[in-house]
Amino acid sequence: MIVKPRVRGFICTTAHPIGCAANVAEQVRYVRERPSLSKGPKNVLVIGASGGYGLPSRITAAFGSGAATLGLSFEKPPTDTKTASAGWYNNRAFDKLAAEAGLWAKTLDGDAFSDEMKAETIDLIKREMGPIDLVVYSLASPVRKDPDTGELYRSAIKPLGQTFHVKTLNVDKAEVHEVDLEPANDEETEATVKVMGGEDWERWMNALAGAGVLAPGCRTVSYTYIGSELTWPIYWHATLGKAKEDLDRAARAIGKRLVDVGGDAKVAVLKCVTTQSSAAIPVVPLYASLLFKVMKEQGSHETCMEHVQRLFETQLYGDGEQRLDEERRIRVDDRELSDQVQDEVKQRWPRVTTENLDELTDFAGFRYDFLRIFGFGVPGVDYEAEVDPQSIEPLA
Ligand code: NAD
């Protein structure tokens, strides 16, 4: 079949197998060109490994540190007539490149929130990997089934307390407009904490520690976003922020659990990038488009891969001191939150309109990044060629 992007709002329902594989190869090339991590991890579990921030974490561990990696994700396989989700192709591309490099890699597909997936993972670690020295928790999901009660929780991306009137961007129509975002009720807030908070991270670490599969000095890191005043009403001071606050609680609890193995649990605050999850958050596409423009102009823009590489090189496995805040979170969002960047973004924010969108913002860059997630727009890929949706190999 010939695969074209089919965008519906903030998702693309098709993915290009060859384009996704080329994306992964590009990220691997980037890491290979960086100095290797001399003190890097050797046996790594990445929960949420197929895209966004999880995939570069896996790539850095494998190709920057020579680590064996076990990746977990929840992706849609292809059918004869439909393409798979992008992450499904990314996983295959990663596994292939790892095998070619002689690196142990396995990918499990299923619900990481479930106890079955945890048991299967532990079993695989025991049989094939040996003790884990880094666990990256990079899940982003709209739903979670509580394994104890069977109850299904859905997250709600909403402000708290009062209606938030804000400027936003209709990505399909390239239109800036204003919306009223209604506040969440208590039930919605609690559900969001259940889905995106620290409970499942804690459950994972308890299960791994209980099974004795954590190496001495094992580290675990979970990713969060804080952002600036522009996004706080819909993120940090909203339902998602409540969930992310719960990660801080979980980090402390996991830290205590890991004392036996001399381990460490940290939350890392990352910058705003275009991923399947971030594109779905109201306000974020407009904020990201502005941010990218300003950071590119000022020479401080980073891709997802570059950002994660900096996290590993300078914070997780660097020689210097970690940049920690008062909650002991690792801060790599320093460039995004610098006064130089934020002052300019805030100055442009009230001025952005549909008419000057391309002039004041990098909406084109946001869109480009968005399509690239699904394997479209990758230089060198022939999008007119027939592809097999079951395979990341070009048809002969
Ligand atoms: P993403 O949507 O790109 O990736 C999410 C990953 O989770 C995918 O691998 C997906 O397969 C996996 N996943 C989802 N549900 C699953 C399930 N039930 N079982 C197994 N795997 C499942 O998201 P992302 O933007 O990379 O977000 C990852 C983390 O990074 C989140 O904690 C997010 O808050 C954080 N973060 C994101 C940004 C940003 O701008 N995107 C900024 C800072 C922090």
Ligand 1 in reach of 107 Cβ (< 6 A):
no
Is 113 near ligand 1, meaning CB less than 6 Å away?
A: yes
Segment 301-310, tens digit of pLDDT: 999 999 999 9
Give the whole-number percent of the chain exceeding pLDDT 90. Answer: 95
Cα(6)–Cα(339) distance, integer angstroms: 38
172 vs 297 pLDDT, higher one: 297
C-beta 83 within 6 A of ligand 1: no
Give residue 279's pLDDT.
86
**15 Cβ below 6 A of ligand 1:** no
User: Is 235 in the active site?
Assistant: yes
Ligand 1 atom at minimum distance from 53 CA: 26
| Ligand 1 centroid from CA 359, angstroms | 31
Q: Has residue 285 got a pLDDT over 90?
A: yes
Please check whether residue 287 is in contact with residue 243, taking contact to mean a CB–CB distance below 8 angstroms: no
- What pLDDT sits at residue 48? 98
- Would you identify the CATH topology of the domain 7-143+190-281+301-333? Rossmann fold (3.40.50)
Nearest-atom index, ligand 1, CA of 85: 11
Instruction: Give the model's confidence band at 137: pLDDT under 50 very low, under 70 low, under 90 confident, else very high.
Output: very high
Residues 327-348, mean pLDDT to the nearest whole number: 98
pLDDT beyond 80 at 396 = no
Q: Is the pLDDT of residue 277 over 90?
A: no
Query: Model confidence at 33, in pLDDT bands (50, 70, 90)?
Result: very high
Our CA dihedral for 111, 113, 119, 124, rounded to 10 degrees, sits at 60
Tokens linked to 360? 């004041």
Torsion of CA 289, 291, 292, 298, to 10 degrees: 150
The mean pLDDT of 288-302, rounded to a whole number, is 98
Instruction: Sort strands 143-145 and 132-137 into parallel, antiparallel or unpaired.
Output: unpaired
Count of residues in the chain: 396
Reported as a single tens digit per residue, the pLDDT across 74-87 is 999 999 899 999 99
Ligand 1: which of 85, 111, 139 to mutate, judged by most atoms within 8 Å of the beta carbon? 139
Q: One of 30, 137, 223, 235 is an active-site residue; which one?
A: 235
Distance, in Å, from the CA atom of 28 to the CA atom of 22, rounded to the nearest integer, reads 10
Cβ proximity of 310 and 62 under 8 Å: no
Q: How far apart are the first and last CA of the chain?
A: 14
Is the C-alpha dihedral spanning 93, 374, 88, 276 positive or negative? positive
Q: Output the pTM of the full model.
A: 0.98
Average pLDDT, the chain: 97
How confident is residue 325, by pLDDT bands cut at 50, 70 and 90?
A: very high
Query: What is the mean predicted confidence (pLDDT) over 162-170?
Result: 93
Contacts of 240 (CB under 8 A, 6+ apart): 155, 157, 192, 196, 225, 234, 281
Q: In sequence order, what are the residues at sequence separation of 6 or more whose Cβ sits closer than 8 angstroms to the Cβ of residue 378? A: 16, 19, 22, 23, 26, 372
pLDDT band (50, 70, 90) for residue 10: confident
Asked whether residue 215 carries a pLDDT value surpassing 90, the answer given is: yes
Please give the biggest Cα pair distance in the chain: 59
Read off the pLDDT of residues 233-274 as tens digits, 9 standing for 90 and up: 999 999 999 999 999 999 999 999 999 999 999 999 999 999
Helices 363-373 and 284-298, packing angle to 10 deg:
110
Q: 12 near 381, Cβ under 8 Å?
A: no
Q: Is the pLDDT of residue 41 over 90?
A: yes
Mean pLDDT across 79-98 = 97
CA 140 to ligand 1 centroid distance, Å: 3
CA 227/CA 208 separation, integer angstroms: 32
Domain boundaries, given as residue ranges, for the chain = 7-143+190-281+301-333
Atom 26 of ligand 1: nearest residue by CA position: 52
pLDDT of residue 56: 98
What is the mean pLDDT of the segment spanning 88-112?
98
| Spatial CB neighbours of 350, under 8 Å, sequence gap ≥ 6 | none
Distance CA 348, CA 295 (A): 13
